[in-house]
Amino acid sequence: MANSNAAPPLPETHETVTRAMERVWHRPPLIRNRALRWTSAAAALIYLGLALNSLDVNWLRVYEGFDRGWRFARGFLLPDFISRWSDIVIGMQESLTMSFTSTVVGVLLSVPIGIGAARNLAPPPVYLLCRAVIALSRSLQEIIVAIFFVAMFGFGPFAGFLTLSFATIGFLSKLLAEDIEDVDESQAEAIRATGAGWWQLVNYAIQPQVMPRLIGLSCYRLDINFRESAVIGIVGAGGIGATLNTAMDRYEYDSAGAVLILIIAIVMAAEYSSGYVRKWVQ
Amino acid sequence: MLRIDNLRKRYRTGDEALKGVSFAVPSGQIVGLIGPSGAGKSTLIRCVNRLVEPTGGRIFLDDLELTTLSRAELRKVRRRIGMIFQEFALVERLTVMENVLSGRLGYVSFWRSFARCYPPADVDKAFALLERVGVLDQTDKRADALSGGQRQRVGVARALEQDPELLLIDEPTASLDPKTSRQIMRLIREICAERNLPAIINIHDVLLAQAFVDRIVGLRAGDVVFDGPPSDLSPEVLTRIYGEEDWTALQRGQEREDEPSASDRKIVDGELERRTTLA
């Protein structure tokens, strides 16, 4: 359809007015200075080109990689649960134990730290200390922490347990503290007005408001910890990750596929049940 | 007996909410605090139990000066002052009974309250109060499952569970329909009469105030601009409190209510013997 047909005919007077004014409008640009706008765009493009050039791709190796990838995919499609079954069972047991214990310990430690990191409950020195603990835990990635604990306490699930507990603190305390800061102040005010002490205030006005979220987040963290246990196992912190790593090192992609399928199944089961729990505690 | 003497409050933002307010409330008197939004009504009643810290002046409950108390002493005094809130301010995920029992928090130890193991006398009193305000059948429901009127009844019961010597009531009917509003105001009035309790009620609704309170204090921009009986609320006085407006329509609706009318007796049915047991 032609463009001229799109607009309905305007009344005579209106048309004359628009023609007389000829007002144009453009969206204001993000960067107002025209020179700055063009130079920054050009600089970004040049850097991107140089950076891509420096990647130094070995195309022959990429071609071989497709072959390996295919073998991996085939192992995944034809998983071998049998030949390494006892290793898989041990790895799974370690991982499940590790993720459960670290979640429980992490939550127990997160509750006081989270309360301390809530501006509306804690005095400034406690607040700063707890926020510092959270920042430390969040800034260190699990694998780095795992390498550190493996170096300290040797290979095995104990290092994994410590790593995941530490990571849980950063995750849960931060979200709990934010939830506490968002509580309905009027309920807290009402409890304070009865002459309640600080602990009673926390127990009667804060806890009922944040409990559903705390339970939901704990379920979610259990799920994350299980997945992380598969990753940190690769750096020696035990669990199903160690089993997976061994299978990969031996080019037993069918056993590795079996491990991955089990991980996916458990994560999905955890996802489903935590959704159910969260709905139930509302 | 509550005495407020030259009370001042200046917020950190520089807003002067109260500019030297003075008045006294004798036992059994219900004072309605009226005034436009931002006049300092809410600040005033929160200064009494120091949910808001006053910046000047003094407040006495009987002979005790509230403005100079330490944290621990303040907790002890707060037990003696019951408060009823605008949006009820019940802890929504707790049961009705837990909300009422929270009125005893100032009296019991943390572990007792944590274990919900209150002295039998407290529990007994809570049951009696729930019956008195007419929500006994809701005892184990969660507070957020109740209707507005029922929630405010629980709010009243929580305040009374404290065995208060004074009630501070902040816009008790702001989120209620007209009929429920009148029922709640009547309930508050009866309870104050039963226990000879003084009360300060912040209230927006001038007609409701005129019908249910003994005395009106009009606040405007942090100053008391009227203090007298509800019958003295003339159009000139309302203009002094709220500013220019045609007040004649409001005047026509004026009527005093001293005794509960027959049509509204439903909720207080058969309470006479209860009254004697509670008194």
Residue B235 pLDDT more than 80? yes
Question: Chain B neighbours among A 148-187 (CB < 8 Å)?
Answer: 184, 186-187
Q: What tokens appear for B127 in the block?
A: 């049951």
Distance CA B35, CA B242 (A): 6
Distance CA B43, CA A236 (A): 61
CB–CB of A195 and B75 under 8 A? yes
Closest Cα of chain A to B75: distance in Å?
Answer: 4
Condensed to tens digits (0 to 9), the pLDDT of residues B57-98 reads 999 998 899 888 888 899 999 999 999 998 889 999 999 999
Please answer whether residues A95 and A226 qualify as being in contact, where contact means their C-beta atoms are separated by less than 8 angstroms.
Answer: yes
A209 vs B101, B110, B194, CA distance in Å? 18, 19, 35
Distance CA B264, CA B266 (A): 6
Residue among B91, B158, B168 minimizing CB distance to A208? B91
Task: Average the pLDDT over B127-153 and give the result.
Answer: 92
Query: What is the CATH class of A81-281?
Result: mainly alpha
Q: Rounded to the nearest 5°, which phi and psi values hold at B84?
A: -120, 135
Distance CA B53, CA B4 (A): 14
Q: Rounded to the nearest 5°, which phi and psi values hold at A155?
A: -65, 155
3-state class (DSSP) for residue B223 = strand
CATH number, domain at B234? 3.40.50.300
- What DSSP string runs through B130-150? HHHHT-GGGTTSBGGGS-HHH
Residue B226 covered by a domain: yes
Q: What tokens appear for B65 in the block?
A: 């000066």
CB–CB of A197 and B105 under 8 A? yes
CB–CB of B75 and A200 under 8 A? no
Range of the domain at B185: 2-80+164-278
pLDDT of residue A251: 82
Residue B254 pLDDT more than 70? no
pTM of the predicted structure, to 2 decimals: 0.78
Condensed to tens digits (0 to 9), the pLDDT of residues B193-225 reads 999 999 999 998 888 888 899 999 999 988 899
Closest Cα of chain A to B232: distance in Å?
Answer: 33
Residues 6+ apart with CB under 8 A from B157: B100, B103, B126, B129, B130, B132, B133, B135
Residue B231 covered by a domain: yes
Length reported for chain B: 279
Binned average pLDDT, 10 residues per bin, chain A of 282 residues: 48 54 85 90 95 87 85 82 86 91 95 94 94 93 90 88 93 95 92 93 94 91 89 84 87 86 89 85 78
Please answer whether residues B141 and B96 qualify as being in contact, where contact means their C-beta atoms are separated by less than 8 angstroms.
Answer: yes
Residue B88 covered by a domain: no
pLDDT of residue A171: 94
Half-sphere exposure of A246 (CA within 13 A, CB side): 15
- Closest residue in B to A193 (Cα–Cα): B78
Residue among A187, A195, A197 minimizing CB distance to B91? A187
pLDDT of residue B269: 40
Residue in this structure with the two tokens 């009865």, named with its chain if needed: A194
Q: Is B73 on the interface with A (CB under 8 A)?
A: no
- According to DSSP, the residues that pair with B81 across neighbouring strands are B166
The number of folded domains in chain B is 1
